Structure 1
């Protein structure tokens, strides 16, 4: 085998201990031994890729084949995004080696009762002091709408930032007022992180329980669990600080919000929380490292569920002797 041997996945940095994300634009990303190199006009910086959770690649980014190899081997998710990180284009391969969560997700979303149960559980994570186990989706949507309006109003009053409602044009980021620009940038960062965790654990971003019909429906489901706590207050606070310092007119709001959110994600250990919440919603248990590191391929069996792969089963089944067909 040519090249550097891939690392032992069990020896890589745990997801809870990794840097949440790194955004790069207008640079060339290469590889030197087991690290990434980021080269631009000011020089070259080495990045310990195994300590990085998500690499967000913005416009003007070039990546070498060897860089993508070490990124994949290190279990780092890659997200290709637009300028300011407000658009999502693609993501790299999952680091999960089993399909347990994906199968649980597909099973629960395909049944009306189990889908409703998961949706109620998601809303229950937001309305912690209320019982949501018997509410209909219509009732839950109404309560959620009132909750979000209240959060915007409270943040406006707390930080003294004028709020005229959520207004934004996905095709024209600069058309919104500063606080709406901040919110769009903040939510885009949150979507990127949630999307990365979802695909890293082998789940489908498109199989949503509350949102539906979009290839990122499940991303929006999960991200909505944390907006009130993290992205909305951060967006209002950043605008207030920029106004007080007289820097609002000449500051890139998107960049300022991204830096603040990077710290907020780390302080709140958001990546670990998203992982734990995904397991609680889909598998009804806690995360297990075996879901990431177990590299086993089974064969589907109609009676047993699954049998070991890599074996020659000729003559091993009763159907081969003219008995019960498979």
Structure 2
């Protein structure tokens, strides 16, 4: 019997590989992507931290088993990550990172440091001194409301405030419909980043008690520099299919800006602000580092 494969250190891996319109299988002990013409593109085993599987991709049982053995995360997403449908072992089953995140969230002083770091990164300035998490949440909410108003004025959109009912999506006014569609796209790619980095989407610091609390925390840092302006731009045009237009625009923005590659380092920077010691990983796990994103399309290249 062959000895078990040992995962390659994450710092030595390529970050993300997006695959579309291909079948992932195993050949000679390595991942292989087979396109519709039968052309095979080999991916060195264990050299990928995360495989992002876009529409039109199929995965064999052997490939899924190999991914589990070498600690490669499989994530089923929409185009460019605008939706997240399912994932394999989060972060290659990294319990040390989950424990570290939970420890930070449960330590009152550490949690406040993390929240202050999130505030600083979101608004590019230090938060007011001697404020609690609840107080910072209130200050943040007031600034967000003001930013929505300013963006609506800039794009000539009538704005009555952020208001929507998740159970009655279609009853929102046009700006809120576009914003909901845009933030849903951002949540998809952010959840993929959280999982790829080995953390738990539910363990948040500002947001709490939701399945995606940490996703909301991280997404909020990026949304006003990415999807929110897109939502107002499209609302100003009042297209026939606003949700679809928002989704396509977010997809293009994610690809052009390589947003996924920016989110994961930000997660690490934010949690480091908690100033607690990271638990040592188990012998069969390695530290996470996320370099450049890459992609494979129909014939092994992104178009």
Distance change in 2, residues 1:140/1:9 (3 Å): closer
Counting matched residue pairs gives: 274
Select 2:52's aligned residue among 52, 55, 66.
55
Who is 2:254 aligned against?
Answer: 262
Aligned position for 1:295: 284
| Aligned counterpart, 1:129 | 125
CA distance in 1, matches of 2:181, 2:63: 27
Distance 2:223 2:198 in 1: 23
Q: Which residue of 1 aligns with 2:272?
A: 280
Residue 163 of structure 1: aligned partner: 159
For 2:14, the equivalent position in structure 1 comes to 14
> Could you tell me how far 1:272 is from its partner in structure 2?
4.4
Cα pair distance change 1:96/1:76, threshold 3 Å: closer
Aligned to 2:290: none
Q: Which has the larger radius of gyration?
A: 1
3-state SS of paired residue (2:178)? helix
> CA shift at 1:78, angstroms?
0.7
Whole-Å Cα distance in 1 between the matches of residues 246 and 49 of structure 2? 22
Q: Following the alignment from structure 1 to structure 2, what is the Cα–Cα distance between the partners of residues 57 and 143? A: 38
In structure 1, what is the Cα distance between the partners aligned to 2:67 and 2:181?
A: 25
Q: Are the counterparts in 1 of residues 73 and 89 from structure 2 also a CA contact under 8 Å?
A: no
- Whether 2:218 is the aligned partner of 1:227: answer no
Find the partner of 1:75 among 60, 72, 85: 72
Partner secondary structure for residue 249 of structure 1: coil
Cα distance in 2 for partners of 1:45, 1:181 equals 42
How far apart, CA to CA, are the structure 2 residues paired with 1:47 and 1:253? 33
Distance in 2, matches of 1:189 and 1:61, equals: 20
Indicate whether 1:201 and 2:201 are aligned: no
Q: Deviations over 1:97-146 (max 9, x none)?
A: 75443222222222223223322332232343343341123321221111
* Counterpart-to-counterpart distance in 2, 1:177 and 1:146: 22
Q: Distance in 1 between matches of 2:96 and 2:7?
A: 24
For the pair 1:102 / 2:93, whether they are aligned, the reply is: no
Q: 1:232, CA displacement in angstroms? A: 1.0
Q: Is the 8 A contact 1:31 1:70 kept in 2?
A: no
Residues 186 and 134 of structure 1: CA distance in aligned 2, closer, same or farther (over 3 Å): same
Q: Is the 8 A contact 2:201 2:211 kept in 1?
A: yes
Distance verdict in 2 for CA 1:147–1:101, change over 3 Å: same
Distance in 1, matches of 2:273 and 2:35, equals 38
The equivalent of 1:147 in structure 2 is 143
How far off is 1:266 after superposition?
1.0
Taking structure 1 as reference, are residues 261 and 184 closer, same or farther at Cα in structure 2, changes over 3 Å only?
farther
Distance in 2, Cα, partners of 1:69 & 1:185: 34
Q: CA deviation at 1:217?
A: 1.4
Structure 2: any 5+ residue segments left out of the alignment? 287-303
TM-score normalised to the size of structure 2? 0.69
